[in-house]
Amino acid sequence: MDLWVDLNRRGDRATAIYRALVAAMTDGRLRSGDRLPPMRALATDLAVSRTTVATVYERLTAEGYVEGRVGSGTFVTAAGGLPTEQPRRPVGQLQPKPGWTFRPSVTSSQLVPPPFDFRAGIPDPALFPFDIWRRLVAGELRLGAHQVGTYSEPSGHAGLRAAIAGHLGRSRSMSATADDVLVTNGTQQGLDLIARVLLQPGDVVAVEDPGYPHARELFAAHGATVAPVPVDAEGLLVQQIPPSARLVFSTPSHQFPLGVPMSLPRRRELIGWGEQHDAAIIEDDYDSEFRYTARPLEPLHAMDRSGRVIYAGTFSKSLLPSLRMGFLVVPESLRAALQAARQLTDWHGVTALQAALARFIDEGQLARHVRRASGVYQQRRDAVIDGVQRHLGEWLEVVPSAAGLHICARSRPGLVLDSAGLLVAARRQGITVEGLAEHHAMPPAGPVQTGLVIGYGMAQLPSIDAGLAVTGRLLRRFVSRSATVQ
């Protein structure tokens, strides 16, 4: 807190400082539990002697406004300051523009980690190499490490773009240069930038159904008409994409949430469809670094001969979602527009973190971490698949998939699962898992698929079987036969 004290007025300086501090405590600028500035710092700021400040602090202590804590400073007491809650402010009559009905969704950080944690798409932070990351970030947080005092390029730190291009060449056989890469604060920002430069209100955007709700909502928030398209065992049903779609959002490596990889014929069909209809295609490759069985299929980006695939990558799964690090690989025709969109919205992200990530990749730490973490996740995944087959197999079947941090277990033909009811009952038993039906658009594009989306990023080996056994005991109450719903 900056303390303004009028030292030109008559009266002694200690009294003026005392009054200023009491005023700050009375009007809420200093609240209970807040720390007063260190004596030496305040004395320097106000150009008074340290003894003057010490006298003030002693008086405030004697009067019960503040208390000294050995080794940590002087703090406002419960009696001295207002409670720490915010002052009441008027609710106000201001409203969002018509049509803006969006509300923030509950994020994983707002849930208390459950004993049986099957949340989808969350990596285990215990596997993250914090020591190495700290060293690299610390290396960037000093004068001269990079141009800390200036605004950076909107496409992101040049070293990181080069490192990402190299990483994609090695891990995904993609040919991309640093110039093709635009660093983002995660995929969500990438989608936002794409929507800004490609979409006009009312444009049709085709999305997978079931699919990724945050992509659906983002496109809708930009005024697009979102058209859900069903997904089968080979991925997006390309023939059902509306011919007017200007943009297609897809997750070919590990369909979200079903988990199926898009087959090679379907990939070719999608590229052909895009060429025929002159549409853009987003390839959201969010978690395929963690790969357990088959070799990865060729990315759409590598099959694209007409510059219409925008590849979106993220470090939210391979590192941590809280780092907010991702990237787009963009066709040259969109490069300048996307860079401008980035610059207009937030300039360029945090350069020190981008530079640290560049080193992390160049030193081989990313590859090492992914290799190590994949081994751990593979064990958890095997245990989950085993547990599903044993405890839930009568009603659910595991959807084949080869990558990522979750699997999907779909209701067997002719059965339907009331996942909303099951999820509540499971939560009471300390189990958090997601429902498949909840990932459908409203209204859904086709028959609603029911089942469970089961994450294993955070699922701890000793508790997996027990958690699924309890889920199995609960589940039978929520399954019914249906002729109409798959």
> In angstroms, what is the minimal distance from the CB of 314 to ligand PLP?
3
Q: Which of 130, 156, 180 is nearest to 352 (CA)?
A: 156
Q: Which residue type, as a one-letter code, is found at position 370?
A: V
> In angstroms, what is the minimal distance from the CB of 185 to ligand PLP?
8
Part of the chain binding ligand PLP (CB under 6 A), chosen from 36-44, 89-97, 185-193, 239-247: 185-193
Binding residue (CB under 6 A) for ligand PLP from 155, 187, 288, 450: 187
Part of the chain binding ligand PLP (CB under 6 A), chosen from 163-171, 181-189, 339-347, 468-476: 181-189
186 burial class (0-12, 13-18, 19+ CB within 10 angstroms)?
A: buried
Binding residue (CB under 6 A) for ligand PLP from 152, 250, 314, 419: 314
Helix/strand/coil for 437? helix
**Which residues, other chains included, contact 479 with Cβ-Cβ below 8 Å and sequence gap of 6+?**
395, 411, 415, 416, 417, 418
Output the six-digit token pair for 78: 């419960």
Output the six-digit token pair for 87: 């002052």
326 binds ligand PLP (CB under 6 A): yes
> In angstroms, what is the minimal distance from the CB of 199 to ligand PLP?
18
Part of the chain binding ligand PLP (CB under 6 A), chosen from 131-139, 184-192, 268-276, 390-398: 184-192
Q: Which is nearer to ligand PLP, 274 or 321 (CB)?
A: 321
Q: How many residues lie near ligand PLP (CB under 6 A)?
A: 13
State the Cα–Cα distance between residues 48 and 442, nearest whole angstrom: 66
Map the footprint of ligand PLP across residues 240-279, applying CB under 6 A. Answer: 251, 256
Binding residue (CB under 6 A) for ligand PLP from 235, 321, 349, 435: 321
Map the footprint of ligand PLP across residues 65-104, applying CB under 6 A. Answer: none
> In angstroms, what is the minimal distance from the CB of 75 to ligand PLP?
38
Q: Which is nearer to ligand PLP, 285 or 304 (CB)?
A: 285
Q: Which of 309, 321, 323 is nearest to 357 (CA)?
A: 323
Part of the chain binding ligand PLP (CB under 6 A), chosen from 130-138, 180-188, 292-300, 327-335: 180-188
Map the footprint of ligand PLP across residues 200-219, applying CB under 6 A. Answer: 212
User: Which residue(s) pair with 229 in the sheet?
Assistant: 208
Q: Which is nearer to ligand PLP, 296 or 421 (CB)?
A: 296
State the Cα–Cα distance between residues 441 and 130, nearest whole angstrom: 38
Helix/strand/coil for 240? helix
The side-by-side arrangement of strands in the sheet containing 309-314 is: 181-184, 326-329, 309-314, 280-285, 247-250, 204-209, 225-232, 235-236
Residue whose pair of structure tokens reads 């008027």 in the numeric block: 90
Binding residue (CB under 6 A) for ligand PLP from 140, 209, 283, 284: 284
Alpha helix ranges (H) inside 250-403: 264-277, 300-303, 332-346, 351-362, 365-387
Map the footprint of ligand PLP across residues 330-369, applying CB under 6 A. Answer: none
State the Cα–Cα distance between residues 384 and 367, nearest whole angstrom: 25
State the Cα–Cα distance between residues 142 and 160, nearest whole angstrom: 18
> In angstroms, what is the minimal distance from the CB of 316 to ligand PLP?
3
What residues make contact with ligand PLP under the rule CB under 6 A? Answer: 121, 186-188, 212, 251, 256, 284, 286, 314, 316, 321, 326
